[in-house]
Amino acid sequence: MSDNGIHFRRDRFEQRKKRSARSSIILVVLLLALIGAWIYLSKTAKSGNTANTETSINTDMKKVTDFFLTGKNGQQVSLSEWKGKVLLIVNTATGCGFTPQYDELEAMYKKLKDKGFEILDIPCNQFGNQTPGTDDEITEFCQLKFGTDFPQFKKSDVNGENELPLYTWLKSQKGFEGFDADNKLTPILEKMFDEKNPGWRETSDIKWNFTKFLVNRDGEVVARFEPTHPLSKVEAAVEELL
């Protein structure tokens, strides 16, 4: 065999050896990367589970008096101001089909406030953009049209990234259990939600304006009423707690 043939075979052998070495290195790197990813995800999952558990425990331990709301003047208001009272917390709107509920809410408030009852009104513009006004405009509208006299706070979000911590807690205490079957607006709302998000029934999110949470004198959420529930049923539940 000529020297050229020997050199050619030697070169091919060296090339195969180098390719094999590179392949081995790549496999080792990939294996290490997979092991690293597995360890990272395992730690993340564990820490995530721990965080979720801690959040659940902390949420369960809280009471309504642990939270704050922002007044229309921008000042923080502690809900401990209403410690020992029965509270009805409502997300409201000024241009909604349920807005006339302000009349019944005000009547309920006048009837029961001297017995230790309070309504906390939180305007919200997340549902159909039906509360477009400023805080002052909302208050003026409610007072002039419905004569409302219960506390009204700054317009705020009750769902999503910027939701009030109070609402995170409220929803964790009482999830969505369905609209009132006898209300004529229920089929309309259900059809609208079914078309937008078929899984909407499984979430605890606030579904629409005038959802109400009833809180007892000990600061615990005892009931949730959707806007379709009759106010007579809400009032009866309030009276049982007074």
* Catalytic center residues: 96
Please report the sign of the dihedral spanned by the C-alpha atoms of residue 236, residue 79, residue 100, residue 159. Answer: negative
How does DSSP classify residue 225? E
CA 171/CA 155 separation, integer angstroms: 18
Tell which residue, 86, 87, 81, 58, has the closest CA to residue 68.
81
Cβ–Cβ under 8 Å, residues 124 and 158: yes
Write the CB contacts of 181 (distance below 8 Å, at least 6 apart in sequence): none
Cβ–Cβ under 8 Å, residues 210 and 92: yes
Cβ–Cβ under 8 Å, residues 132 and 90: no
